[in-house]
Amino acid sequence: MLEALGNLGDFIGGIGVLVTLLYLASQIRQNSQSVRNAAAESVLQSMNSALQTASSSPQIARVIAVGQTNIEDLSEDERSQFLMWLYAWFRVLERGYSHYRRGYIDADEWRGHTMNLASVMKSESAQKWWFARRSYFGSEFAAMVDSLETSDAAPSIGELASIVSSSSQIVPPAV
C-alpha cells in the first residue's frame, strides 16, 4: 500500500513538474516577444526622434533638404552637418534592418522605411557619401542598400519641398 502511495506521489509530482515547465516555457515565449517588441519600438523611436530633430529646426531641415538636392549650396559646416546626419540616419536604419531580419519589425512597416531610404539614395550627395562610407556598415545592410531601386523612389525631402511649394502634382511611386 505504501509503495502504491509512493508511486502515486511520484506521478503527481511528475505532473506538477510538467505543468511548471509548460508554464515557464509560456513565460519565456511571452518575455521573448516583449523583448522583440521593445527592440523594434526602440528603433522606431530613434527614427522618429531623428525626424523630429530635423523638423524642429528650420536650419537643420534646410541643411537636410539642400544637402540632398545641391550640397554645393551648403557652407562647409553645413555640409559636415548633413554628412553626420546621413551617418546617424543610416546607423538607425541599419539597426532597423537587423530587427527586420530577425522578424521584430514586420515587412509592411519595413517597406516604408526602405522607400524612405531609396528617396534619400536618389541624392547624388547621399550616393557619394554611401560609396565612401559603406564599409563602415554590416555587409548584409550594405547589400540591401546597394540593391535599392532609386529610379522609382518617392521624391527626396529637398525635391518634395520644391514640389509642394510649386504647382506641380505629386505622383505616388509605383508599388
| CA–CA gap between residue 123 and residue 72 (Å, rounded) | 13
Neighbours of 11 (CB within 10 A): 10
Instruction: Give 94-124 pLDDT, tens digit per residue.
Output: 999 998 998 888 899 899 889 989 989 988 9
In a domain, 21, yes or no: no
**75 within a domain of the structure (yes/no):** yes
Which residue range forms the structural domain that includes residue 85?
43-165
In a domain, 143, yes or no: yes
Q: What is the predicted pLDDT for the residue at 174? A: 61
Q: Is residue 52 part of a domain?
A: yes
Inside any domain, residue 72: yes
Question: Rounded to an integer, what distance in angstroms lies between the CA atom of residue 36 and that of residue 31?
Answer: 9
Q: Is residue 68 part of a domain?
A: yes
Least confident of 26-35, 97-106, 143-152, 166-175: 166-175
pLDDT digit string, tens, across residues 38-74: 777 777 787 778 778 777 888 888 998 899 889 999 9
- Mean pLDDT value across residues 27-48: 74
Residues 73/161, Cβ–Cβ less than 8 Å: no
In a domain, residue 115? The reply is: yes
Q: Is residue 49 part of a domain?
A: yes
**Hey, what's the torsion of the CAs at 16, 19, 20, 25, to 10 degrees?**
160
**Total structural domains in the chain?**
1
pTM score of the predicted model: 0.71
